[in-house]
Amino acid sequence: MNIIQRPSTHFDERSDGSKPSFIIIHYTDTKTLEEAEDYFLGRRLQASGGRVSAHYMIDFDGTVVQYVDEEKRAWHAGASHWAGMSDLNHHSIGIELVNPGRTYGYRPFPAAQMEALMKLVRDIMTRRSISPFRVLAHSDIAPARKQDPGELFDWKAMANAGLAVWPDPQDEDRRIARDYLRDKNALREAFLKVGYDPKADLESIVTAFQRHFYPEAFRHPEKAGQPTEAMAARLHWLVRNRPNL
């Protein structure tokens, strides 16, 4: 695929010779690619003074730009955790999707953008033998801090293309789901088995899970963060089917 190269100096080495084995999907929370790129190329600093980058960014029209070599550690995930691993920057490839986000008017991701993303993710997964279970949202690995790419991102389409996972609960999952709702400790333990951060509060984890695996919760935003049986059934499907990460 055609990828524009605009090298950033915002990277360092991966620790202990680690190789990327996760793909993390973000949104930029900016109006344009150029605005996000200003941060990646050092033309603008974050309010905190920190520097950020990602390996790739995809514009609304499907244009793909690479900023950091995949072998290097880009600065996209921040404080993060998944399946016992912290600092996912060391273990992942970060892909930013241009989207106004909550700051400027969150909206669905255009077809051209999604098509380019799927092509890029498929290429990376094939070259690096990355499991669909390791294609995650920024909100999955930082549930108390991040919301992206959010409930309007089409994870089901990604899963249908073999590029992510989408739960398909069975009777067993629905039965266990009722147990989860009766026992908050069991519910929390299920989230931890899937990979979520044990230090995060339960409401943040539930909301992050809903953004990824149960976006129906956001039809009534005031109810987001509240566990339901349907959500818990999808959670148990993931517990049952999750490979040893």
Whether the Cβ atoms of residue 120 and residue 1 lie closer than 8 Å to each other? yes
Q: What is the mean pLDDT of residues 7-29?
A: 95
Other Cβ atoms within 10 Å of 188 Cβ, number? 18
Dihedral over alpha carbons 117, 119, 121, 123 (to 10 degrees): -150
Looking at the structure, tell me whether residues 20 and 139 fall in a common domain. Answer: yes
> What are the catalytic residues?
96
- Residue 36 domain flag: yes
Q: Buried b / exposed e across 152-170, counting CB within 10 Å, b at 16+?
A: ebbbebbbeeebbbbbebe
Structural domain span for residue 223 = 171-241
Residue 180 exposure: Cα atoms within 13 Å on the Cβ side:
26
Q: What is the mean pLDDT of residues 207-211?
A: 98
- Residue 166 domain flag: no
- pTM here is 0.97
Per-residue pLDDT at 238 exceeds 80: yes
d(CA 204, CA 197) in angstroms, rounded, equals 10
Give me the number of domains the chain comprises: 2
* Placement of tokens 């695996």 in the chain: 213
- Residue 79 domain flag: yes
Looking at the structure, tell me whether residues 94 and 182 fall in a common domain. Answer: no
- Residue 165 domain flag: no
One-letter amino acid at 241 equals N
What are the Cα distances from residue 60, in Å, to 76, 94, 115, 164? 20, 17, 11, 21
Mean pLDDT of the chain: 96
Looking at the structure, tell me whether residues 82 and 16 fall in a common domain. Answer: yes
Looking at the structure, tell me whether residues 189 and 120 fall in a common domain. Answer: no
For residue range 39-58, list pLDDT tens digits in order: 999 999 887 778 999 999 99
Q: What is the mean pLDDT of residues 89-96?
A: 97
Show Cβ contacts of residue 81 under 8 Å, excluding neighbours closer than 6 positions: 88, 141, 142, 196, 197, 198, 199, 200
One-letter amino acid at 108 equals P
Cα 200 to its chain centre, rounded Å, is 16
For residue range 162-204, list pLDDT tens digits in order: 999 999 999 999 999 999 999 999 999 999 999 999 999 999 9
Looking at the structure, tell me whether residues 52 and 18 fall in a common domain. Answer: yes
3-state secondary structure 186-207: HHHHHHHHHCCCCCCCHHHHHH
pLDDT for residue 245:
60
Q: What does DSSP assign to residue 43?
A: S
pLDDT for residue 46:
81
- Residue 91 domain flag: yes
DSSP per-residue letters across 150-191: -TTS-HHHHHHTTSS------HHHHHHHHHHHH-HHHHHHHH
Looking at the structure, tell me whether residues 92 and 46 fall in a common domain. Answer: yes
Looking at the structure, tell me whether residues 28 and 77 fall in a common domain. Answer: yes
User: Any idea what the CATH number is for the domain that residue 69 is in?
Assistant: 3.40.80.10
Q: Using only C-alpha atoms, what is the Rg of the chain? A: 18
Domain endpoint, select from 109, 127, 160: 160
Looking at the structure, tell me whether residues 154 and 37 fall in a common domain. Answer: yes
